[in-house]
């Protein structure tokens, strides 16, 4: 629309978070303390056990979490402590010494569950019989055989240079955190130094697999298995990739090598069983399913494999039992309707034929990989991260997510944020890049802004956000005439007022930068209004429907990271891509003695009218304003005086 500026408005919490035009010396401002307050040992979740845990009396339970080598675990673990009488549950996470302490335990027979990503969970019964007991427990976690072992080295690693080893370690850390763009950068550097490293080639193959670049993944993994022919997990992943590419013969051959290299590799047995199933070698498929269940009981995907094999062998009763076990373990799986259909077909078999090893109905293979979207190559290009639905998240095996509790607790955190932080400001640094078709920057600009905002909630459940940004430029003079605001605000999707507008699914226990986190997938509901973000082009305003994934701390239920994107391209305005990655960090305000989780950074990838852009917003120097400061309120309400000032934007959140 000529020189009309484009605005990406976020009607969410970050609109209030990082906005300041006020000087840090304004009366009523509280400066950010340089150091956090002392951390409490074994801090508990917001809702503790009021009748069971009392910090001033009762027993203490000290838990040390070790790996199978009886060394401290290299990652954060989640401890869940439950008492039936009264019915209460509390979560804590281990600290840097791989320990956590529950204080104030009263008489009860507790159920303790310890979980960590990449390890099998441990359940233990702990009985407290005295108020002054101090119980010490060492919990040893066994590595999950289905998990990728990033620390496994190839045979050529001893020949790697120190620089290549350093880049590889950095890449492993980024991969563990799901930061694939950063991992790719380090792996490319390591590959230049050590192209013949089996480990580097495996990690490149894994990174390509996660980004759904299957041909490239196959090439790297083939080279890795050539350099290290007995690396079972490299063989397993190569077989999986070849199976997804439709090369079932090659996949079967590679997977047969994998189970020979490591007979205890559960994933290899399962993938080989799938390959046999597709080739109609049903007895061999059943054998592999049983091998999985012998090593890992109640593995849902193995029950699915076993049910299909038994059905095609004519063992109807056994097939129904296995498929029913899958449904019970995975009631919300996208495959559940198809499995229900197979069960219905089997149940229609004549009773006299059930259990007989005679030909029954033909059970078509249910391919779990078919639920993965590998067709959209646009989401696999290097200029932006893979889509939120195109990444297989890494979660702890067998750890059920208390979805209702997670959503309730994180909703309370958002409500606390509104109650505690009404007015605040921050300094924003903006990096803006215009990208060419290959994703490389063709131009780059740096800007600095001051942000300020007011957040308020008025009856009956209205959220009001007034956003202020001031700078020397009008919106039309901003880089590429695009004004972005509100991207750090996505955490408000979890506010109780806005939660009903989204479909939310807790995917399991993951981790982010060493923290144990619950992973929650959200998607705008079609039957609810979109109130988080809007797109303004000239005088036209369009609602933006978002989907994404949030990382929420497992013990305190704080949002630490949100990745979000468009539900679908907005082709009517040629707005094809918006992908944002926002990270949050605690900011300690000494005067109020509170930690407030505010945006630390927000990366934005845009494809608009045939042009691609990358932006990085960084936030610092937070100032919290006292609500009784009339000067602050007056300045925030009317905005600053002088050239370059902008009119505040008012945003409303309607009750659900």
Q: Residue by residue, what is the 3-state secondary structure of 192-223?
A: HHCCCCHHHHHHHHHHHHHCCCHHHHHHHHHH
Q: Same domain for 164 and 114?
A: no
Backbone angles phi, psi at 206, to 5 degrees: -65, -45
3-state secondary structure of 399: coil
Greater model confidence, 41 or 462: 462
Average pLDDT of the segment spanning 429-451: 84
Q: Same domain for 76 and 176?
A: no
The domain boundary residue, chosen from 322, 344, 365: 365
CATH code of the domain covering residue 14: 2.50.20
Average pLDDT of the segment spanning 532-559: 87
User: Is 384 part of any domain?
Assistant: no
Q: Same domain for 353 and 420?
A: no
Average pLDDT of the segment spanning 353-370: 50
Contacts of 260 (CB under 8 A, 6+ apart): none
User: Is 48 part of any domain?
Assistant: no
pTM of the model: 0.63
Average pLDDT of the segment spanning 609-633: 72
- On the question of pLDDT at 482 being above 80, the answer is no
Backbone angles phi, psi at 217, to 5 degrees: -60, -45
| pLDDT band (50, 70, 90) for residue 563 | very high
- On the question of pLDDT at 194 being above 60, the answer is yes
- On the question of pLDDT at 654 being above 80, the answer is no
CA 125 vs CA 55, 110, 137, 642: distances in Å: 22, 6, 11, 67
H-run or E-run covering 576: strand 575-589
Number of domains within the chain: 3
The whole-chain average pLDDT of the chain stands at 76
Q: Same domain for 23 and 128?
A: no
- On the question of pLDDT at 237 being above 70, the answer is yes
pLDDT score, position 352 = 53
User: Is 51 part of any domain?
Assistant: no
User: Is 303 part of any domain?
Assistant: yes
Q: Same domain for 647 and 521?
A: yes
Q: Same domain for 305 and 250?
A: yes
User: Is 91 part of any domain?
Assistant: yes
pLDDT score, position 461 = 65
User: Is 383 part of any domain?
Assistant: no
pLDDT score, position 144 = 73
- On the question of pLDDT at 566 being above 90, the answer is yes
> Of 408, 406, 322, 308, which is closest to residue 361 (Cα–Cα)?
308
| pLDDT band (50, 70, 90) for residue 204 | very high
pLDDT score, position 2 = 40
Provide the angle, in degrees to the nearest 10, between the axes of the packed helices 282-295 and 300-312. 150
Domain around 97 = 59-140
Find the range with the poorest average confidence among 430-434, 463-467, 575-579, 646-650: 646-650
Provide the angle, in degrees to the nearest 10, between the axes of the packed helices 248-261 and 232-244. 160
Q: Same domain for 358 and 245?
A: yes
Average pLDDT of the segment spanning 649-654: 43
User: Is 595 part of any domain?
Assistant: yes
pLDDT score, position 173 = 80
pLDDT score, position 553 = 95
- On the question of pLDDT at 445 being above 80, the answer is yes
| pLDDT band (50, 70, 90) for residue 378 | very low
pLDDT score, position 211 = 76
274-292 pLDDT tens trace: 889 888 899 999 999 999 8
Highest mean pLDDT (candidates 123-127, 238-242, 297-301): 238-242
116-158 pLDDT tens trace: 888 888 888 888 877 667 888 999 887 776 667 766 644 445 5
The domain boundary residue, chosen from 365, 382, 410: 365
Average pLDDT of the segment spanning 334-345: 83
User: Is 34 part of any domain?
Assistant: no
Question: How do beta strands 423-435 and 122-128 pair?
Answer: unpaired
Tokens for 165, please give them.
């080893």
Q: Same domain for 171 and 303?
A: yes
Burial of 248 (C-beta count, 10 Å sphere; 0-12/13-18/19+): middle
Find the range with the poorest average confidence among 370-374, 393-397, 438-442, 501-505: 370-374
């Amino acid at each position: 629309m000529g020189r009309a500026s484009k605005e990406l408005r976020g009607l969410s919490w970050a609109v209030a978070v990082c906005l300041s035009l006020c000087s840090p010396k304004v009366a009523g401002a509280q400066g950010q303390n340089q150091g956090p307050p002392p951390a409490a040992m074994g801090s508990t979740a917001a809702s503790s056990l009021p009748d069971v845990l009392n910090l001033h009396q009762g027993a203490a339970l000290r838990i040390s979490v070790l790996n199978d080598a009886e060394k401290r675990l290299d990652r954060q673990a989640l401890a869940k402590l439950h008492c039936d009488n009264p019915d209460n549950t509390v979560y804590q996470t281990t600290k840097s010494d791989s320990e956590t302490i529950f204080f104030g335990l009263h008489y009860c027979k507790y159920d303790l569950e310890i979980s960590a990503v990449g390890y099998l969970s441990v359940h233990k019964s702990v009985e407290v019989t005295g108020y002054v007991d101090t119980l010490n427990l060492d919990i040893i976690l066994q590595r999950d055989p289905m998990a990728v072992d990033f620390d496994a080295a190839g045979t050529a690693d001893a020949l790697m240079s120190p620089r290549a080893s350093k880049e590889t370690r950095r890449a492993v850390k980024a991969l563990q955190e799901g930061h694939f763009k950063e991992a790719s950068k380090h792996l490319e550097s390591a590959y230049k130094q050590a192209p013949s490293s089996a480990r580097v080639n495996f990690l490149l193959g894994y990174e390509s697999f996660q980004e759904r670049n299957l041909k490239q993944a196959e090439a790297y993994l083939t080279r890795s298995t050539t350099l290290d022919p007995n690396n079972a997990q490299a063989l397993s992943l190569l077989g999986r990739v070849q199976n997804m590419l439709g090369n079932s013969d090659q996949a079967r051959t590679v997977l047969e090598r994998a189970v020979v290299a490591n007979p205890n590799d559960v994933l290899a047995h399962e993938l080989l069983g799938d390959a046999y199933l597709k080739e109609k070698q049903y007895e061999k498929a059943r054998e592999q399913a049983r091998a999985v269940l012998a090593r890992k009981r109640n593995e849902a995907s193995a029950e699915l494999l076993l049910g299909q094999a038994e059905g095609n062998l004519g063992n109807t009763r056994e097939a129904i039992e296995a498929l029913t076990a899958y449904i019970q373990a995975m009631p919300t799986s996208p495959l559940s309707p198809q499995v229900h259909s197979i069960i219905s077909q089997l149940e229609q078999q004549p009773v006299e034929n059930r259990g007989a090893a005679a030909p029954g109905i033909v059970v078509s293979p249910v391919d779990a990989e078919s639920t993965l979207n590998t067709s959209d190559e646009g989401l696999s290009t290097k200029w932006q991260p893979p889509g939120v639905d195109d990444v297989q998240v890494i979660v702890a095996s067998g750890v059920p997510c208390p979805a209702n509790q997670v959503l309730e607790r994180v909703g309370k955190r958002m409500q606390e944020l509104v109650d505690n932080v009404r007015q605040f400001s921050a300094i924003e640094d903006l990096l803006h890049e215009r990208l060419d078709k290959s994703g490389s920057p063709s131009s780059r600009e740096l800007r600095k802004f001051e942000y300020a905002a007011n957040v308020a909630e008025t009856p009956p459940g209205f959220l009001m956000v007034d956003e202020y940004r001031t700078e020397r430029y009008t919106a039309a003079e901003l880089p590429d005439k695009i004004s972005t605001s509100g991207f750090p605000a996505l955490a408000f999707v979890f506010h109780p007022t806005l939660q009903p507008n989204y479909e939310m699914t807790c995917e399991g226990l993951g981790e982010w930068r060493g923290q144990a986190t619950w992973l929650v997938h959200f998607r705008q509901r079609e039957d609810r209004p979109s109130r988080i973000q809007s797109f303004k082009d000239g005088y036209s305003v369009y609602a933006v429907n978002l989907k994404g994934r949030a990382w929420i701390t497992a013990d305190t239920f704080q949002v630490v990271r949100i990745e979000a994107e468009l539900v679908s391209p907005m082709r009517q305005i040629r707005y094809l891509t918006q992908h944002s990655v926002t990270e949050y960090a605690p900011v300690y305000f000494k005067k109020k003695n509170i930690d407030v989780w505010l945006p630390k950074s927000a990366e934005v990838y845009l494809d608009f009218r045939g042009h691609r852009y990358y932006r990085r917003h960084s936030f610092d120097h937070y100032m919290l304003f006292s609500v009784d400061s009339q000067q602050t309120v007056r300045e925030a309400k009317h905005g600053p005086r002088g050239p370059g000032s902008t009119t505040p934007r008012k945003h409303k959140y309607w009750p659900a």
